[in-house]
Amino acid sequence: TQPTTTTRGNEPTINRNEQMIRAGGYGRGRRGSGINPFFYYYAYRMYQQYQAVPNKPHGTLVVMAVMASYYFEVFPLLNDIIGDISSACFSPAKVLRDFELQRTLFSSFVHGDELHLAYNLSSLLTKGIKLEERYGGKAEKFVLLFCLVSVLTHGFAAIIAGGLFHSGLFDGDVYYNATYGSSGVLFALQTIVLGENPRGNYSFFGLQVPAHRLALTEVGLLYLMNPSTLNLIVHVSGILAGMLVLRPTKVINMLKYIFGFNLFGGFSNFSNNNRAREGRRGEGRNTPRLNGKRCVMTGLTGEQASLNGTWASIVRVLENGNKVVVKLDDETTTRGEIAVGRENVLPI
């Protein structure tokens, strides 16, 4: 993701980098000097990677084709639909103030130069191969997933940036600046990929990093390389969007704990259906991991409302995962072990 514009007025104020980009058309910033040679290197590596997999990721290729076609202006109609960088880039102010929601999707297809495009295409291909294999080669599922996480990522980023600005914690740059690229979406897809194997380790610049910390490690490194607060918000929002797609009930429970009460009663049917499906498989894939885990009580009502915010340990799971028995840490209470709903414990 690259920072591009400031949108304090009715139209974005174009800085020097974007003037160079727009001089070449919609996405190309190097028309006069030709294509960066490293783009051909990345393209050749992507071709080798594509040929090496038996099940071709057709959905990923569709998304990659749209990105490349927009950048190189292959189909004028596509460029007219997305628009130039100033009308497609992501800006929290434009999304929240002017309600230009199309930016939450279109900004993911815009790139500033060949290296920016090539790196994101290569990363997208790697993640797309794994995800499409998981979806049984359903190309349309991956395309819809990409669009969904793009909207979620930039939607979260707009809300976070707007909140930080209006609270007075940050100046107007975090709200009025703009950015473009698919880095936030790639963090969301990476979170989904790694979420299926959170116990593995991955090599990161020669260091062995646990899977559940890899995305945050990359976010930190990118921020050190390019200390942009808005980019940091977009990248973290991508991780949050991936978590929401991968573990919706866990994110909802986390928000319930933060706010101290159940804001998401409308999701109860979804949560119950999800636990019922897990129950039909036995105890569910997450149930064995709950035993012995530390947790925080949340969302309790009635006589148990006073226990919200207290710590406990999960002893065992009951009724196909719908209820759990916890042992309270509070030594002053005589309740000892109590049974509560699965949605009333937040494992830590």
Predicted pLDDT of residue 321: 67
CA gap 2, 175 in Å, rounded: 15
Residue 318, amino acid: L
Predicted pLDDT of residue 21: 35
Cα-Cα-Cα-Cα dihedral of 149, 155, 157, 161, to 10°? 180
Predicted pLDDT of residue 104: 96
Burial of 116 (0-12, 13-18, 19+ CB in 10 A): buried
Cα–Cα distances in angstroms (integers) from residue 68 to residues 63, 82, 108, 244, in the given order: 9, 13, 12, 28
Contact 4, 83 (CB under 8 A): no
Reported for 10-14, long-range contacts at CB under 8 A and 24+ positions apart, including other chains, are 11/86, 12/86, 12/89, 12/91, 12/94, 12/178, 14/86
CA gap 4, 11 in Å, rounded: 13
DSSP per-residue codes, 82-137? H--HHHHSB-HHHHHTS--TTHHHHGGG--SSHHHHHHHHHHHHHHHHHHHHHTTT
pTM: 0.66
Predicted pLDDT of residue 344: 78
Predicted pLDDT of residue 285: 41
Predicted pLDDT of residue 273: 45
Cα–Cα distances in angstroms (integers) from residue 116 to residues 67, 88, 102, 211, in the given order: 11, 16, 22, 25
pLDDT beneath 70: ranges in the chain: 1-33, 196-200, 203-206, 212, 249-289, 296, 319-321, 330-335, 348
